[in-house]
Amino acid sequence: MSAGSKEANEQRPEGLTPIIAMQDVQFQYPGAEGTALRNINLIIQPGEFIAIAGTNGSGKSTLCKCLNGLIPNYYVGDLSGSVQVAGLTAAEETVSSLSRKVAYVFQDFENQLVRPTVYDEACFAPLNYGYADYRERGQRALAMLGIDHLKEQWIWQLSGGQKHLTALAGALSLDPDIIIVDEPVAQLDPYHAKLIYEKLKLLNEQFGKTIIVIEHHTEFIADYCHKVILMDSGTIRWVKPVQAALSAVDELAALHILPPQVTLAVRDAETAAGQVHLRDRLFPITIEDAAAYFSEAKILSQTNNALVINEPIRKSVRESVPASNPLVTFTNVSYGYKTITRERYPVIQDMSIRFYEGDRIALVGNNGAGKSTLLKLISGIRRPSAGQLDVCGYLTKQASPEQLADFVAYVYQNPEEMFIEDSVRKDVEYFLKSRNSPDYSSFVDEILHRMRLTDLQDRDGRLLSGGQQRRATLAIGLAMRPTVMLLDEPTASLDASSRREMTDMLAQLDGQVKTTVIATHDMQLVAEWANRVIVMHNGAVALDTDQRSLFSHVAVLEKTGLLAPQITQLSQRLGIDPPSLSVAEFIASVVGDPSSPHYVNRSKESAAIGSH
Ligand SMILES: Nc1ncnc2c1ncn2[C@@H]1O[C@H](COP(=O)(O)OP(=O)(O)OP(=O)(O)O)[C@@H](O)[C@H]1O
Ligand SMILES: Nc1ncnc2c1ncn2[C@@H]1O[C@H](COP(=O)(O)OP(=O)(O)OP(=O)(O)O)[C@@H](O)[C@H]1O
């Protein structure tokens, strides 16, 4: 038995029957070289709220597929060991019989949606199982998630985040005992991400549902989960209560998992102040606890017997990039998708804006605000219904897609749509060759290496894990060597290390592309990478600002459901003005001047993670 399962067993309350019991489980995908799961022993009690963490490809989704019967019913690989779920032997059940007990929302949830409208989708599963009250069940699930206003919408009209909520509603409608959500927040705006977790919390606390989330975002794990299962190369490394799990900062970082920013802030502040961390003391993992810690540290510093925290220092606001020739010019552009009755409903509304050379633009805003549509307009996939859009000297209404492709690369939100060939390397080469690049072979090697894809280069992109796929699409985008790089949610589903690499790589793009536009919900990426932030709301620009000023526009943030990164929120609580955008800035603000001999810059995640 793994250490994790031993701990879980020791904590097992008297008389409780586990809701999930896995014993000596091993699984190999058909045709795969290695095993995706090994020596899996796990006990989960009813009513637990569990996070599964682990680097991309460590086996998180595969483990969960054993619980809903997709393994071995759909993935007919080599499975051994036993899996008990809610009193059923999983291997003897069909996927549909297990789905009454286990709801599953997939990472690629779009494939889960099979009915034409949101309401049909929410009612579909109970209707299928012959529940007379299927309408009420569907309606209730929509109301619980706050999306009843979408019920008449066609599924194909929904944005990514709206589709995710619909898939969750479909899963909730069967009233299952166990709810598994594979990366709940990957495609959601911060408001909806929090909302989903609040709903999961409600289902857990009020209805006793067992919740399992696969999660790369440790701040959500810290705020909502009770325990963490840490996966590593197809095995369970351990199962720990959440605070102990997230306090294992160095171990997590070594496995490409980014601990919460506030936890890193405390660790780095102690290091910078020369204070030795006591092994048995747990770090704070939430904003509240970290704020209390730093307030206490200030008090202690006055008696001079503990961590010295200086008064926060003010930092100057960075200048925004000076305007040069615009590369992209929207002049009164409107766009609407056609409905089934062939009318157009407006999505982009009378937009006039310019993007310049040197702009690193983060396009943010709530689900459905029109971010992806804006990228599609620039790439020429969609053309304005009204107004003019000029991209690198071409009016997109008149230019052919081939002409625009010479200047613009568009990396889609859904990675699977980017794979054409039967291997990742061939996909990257395909786009590079189409640009007639000399010496493409070594360039491909370099791109694959930088995205940690060298070992995966001969694999079919469609059969990679979600995070691996995301990295592969970035490699494809880079191979296009565009003037204007458009990326839709590039960090969704990435583990911390890949997110860090991605941020660094995007920063290095400046020399290779002239402007980059990213649609994203990842506020940490916004804070650390962008030099211009465009907040979209209802298809219009609500705010066009620099990334530091963004978080001081409280009214806009509230209106558009955006949340500052954890470290920014913590620094605001502590009165640091302007607030810190990264752990490194925070440390410099509270612990002192980096040029001081006592200041040790071991701050931020990159120090820990960058070495891997
Ligand atoms: N259908 C498949 N066929 C072959 N190999 C697969 C298949 N699906 C996943 N794998 C491989 O199994 C391993 C575990 O994948 P899994 O999707 O479980 O990882 P994960 O931890 O969920 O990753 P991520 O964080 O990227 O979603 C990976 O090496 C992946 O490439
Ligand atoms: N192919 C389509 N056909 C019809 N309507 C669409 C289509 N794609 C998106 N929409 C609608 O257009 C609006 C804007 O969607 P878009 O995908 O641009 O938003 P977004 O800001 O990128 O959202 P998210 O953050 O959820 O990805 C949404 O109301 C959505 O329902």
CATH architecture for residues 326-567: 3-Layer(aba) Sandwich (3.40)
Which tens digit of pLDDT belongs to each residue from 283-340?
A: 899 999 999 888 877 665 555 544 555 554 444 444 444 557 799 999 999 999 876 6
- Provide mean pLDDT across the span 261-287: 81
Which tens digit of pLDDT belongs to each residue from 69-85?
A: 999 998 888 999 999 99
CA 438 to chain centroid: 35
* Angle, CA 513 vertex, CA 510 and CA 514 arms, to 5°: 80
Which tens digit of pLDDT belongs to each residue from 27-56?
A: 999 888 889 999 999 999 999 999 999 988
- Per the model's pLDDT, the better-predicted residue between 309 and 247 turns out to be 247
Q: Is residue 530 within 8 Å of residue 561, measured between CB atoms?
A: no
Which tens digit of pLDDT belongs to each residue from 220-244?
A: 999 999 999 999 999 999 999 999 9
CATH code of 3-101+176-245, in short, is 3.40.50.300
- Tell me, using a 6 A CB cutoff, whether residue 126 lines ligand 1: no
Specify the DSSP class assigned to residue 154: B
- Tell me, using a 6 A CB cutoff, whether residue 347 lines ligand 2: yes
CA dist., res. 80 & res. 83, Å (int): 9
Is the pLDDT at 606 greater than 60, yes or no? no
CA 237 to chain centroid: 23
Nearest CA to ligand 2 atom 12: 347
Which numbered atom of ligand 1 lies nearest the CA of 469? Answer: 26
Is the pLDDT at 578 greater than 50, yes or no? yes
Kind of pairing between the strands at 484-488 and 515-519: parallel
- For the chain, give every residue range classified as CATH 3.40.50.300: 3-101+176-245, 326-567
CA dist., res. 387 & res. 329, Å (int): 11
- Provide mean pLDDT across the span 273-277: 67
Nearest CA to ligand 2 atom 6: 157
Distance 61 CA to ligand 1 centre (A): 7
Q: Is the entire prediction scored with pTM above 0.90? A: no
CA dist., res. 477 & res. 40, Å (int): 37
- Tell me, using a 6 A CB cutoff, whether residue 61 lines ligand 1: yes
Specify the DSSP class assigned to residue 381: S
- Provide mean pLDDT across the span 362-378: 92
Pocket test for ligand 1, best of 25, 26, 62, 181 (most atoms within 8 A of CB): 62
- Beta-carbon contacts of 584 under 8 Å, excluding residues fewer than 6 positions away, are 601, 603, 604
User: Residue 461: which pLDDT band, with cuts at 50, 70 and 90?
Assistant: very high
Complex prediction ipTM:
0.89
- Provide mean pLDDT across the span 511-522: 87
CA nearest neighbour of 328 among 104, 455, 514: 514
**Arithmetic mean of pLDDT over the chain:** 83
Nearest CA to ligand 2 atom 3: 157
Of 14-23, 182-191, 233-242, 310-319, which one has max mean pLDDT? 233-242
Cis peptide before 241 (omega within 30 of 0): no
Predicted pLDDT of residue 299 = 60
Is the pLDDT at 449 greater than 50, yes or no? yes
- Tell me, using a 6 A CB cutoff, whether residue 166 lines ligand 2: no
As a whole number of Å, the end-to-end CA separation of the chain is 29
Which tens digit of pLDDT belongs to each residue from 395-438?
A: 999 988 778 888 898 998 888 888 999 999 999 988 776 555 56
